[in-house]
Structure 1
Amino acid sequence: MIRQQSMRVLLRRSEGALLRLIGTVQRRGFEVTDIATHAQDHDSWLVMLKVESNRELRLLERQVEKLYDVIELIEEAPRFEHPALAAYA
């Protein structure tokens, strides 16, 4: 059964970091259906992903946590003022 799931990642702002994150998501059998980023400060982004797969999200989370540029996975969604990011809250 394919289900849509959400993931929030605090990501270090470095060259190629976002591409490595998306590549890992795709290689693990998840399809990115929506993505939004929000600059936390000059050193990090909050990346919000919506993915579809019949696989458990925890499998992906374990792989994402191992990426060098990932600072942390965020369990609770913060509230955003921006309408495009509100769907991830």
Structure 2
Amino acid sequence: MEGKPETKGGLQQESYTGLQLHFLNRLVHLLQLRYGDGGCLSPETQRLLDRAIYSTYCDCLDLDVGKEAQRLIRRYYHTSKGEPATN
């Protein structure tokens, strides 16, 4: 999108408050850890990351950016399964 700086994960900085952007970026980071690297995580690490992702998702809901958080989760989940991402 022209004129709006983007962060990792394709989030437009000007569309969100600083706090919203912080938690959305945290969610992107956790999703990259969870679904990146071809699934070479131990079951315990996967469980811990899943809990951290859920907690951060709840924070996003509280900050009224739940739809964006859901979009990010779907994108990373489907991409990790080799499926095309749906928006």
By the TM > 0.5 criterion, same fold?
A: no
Q: TM-score scaled to structure 2, two decimals? A: 0.32
Larger Rg: 2
More helix per residue: 2
Q: TM-score scaled to structure 1, two decimals? A: 0.31
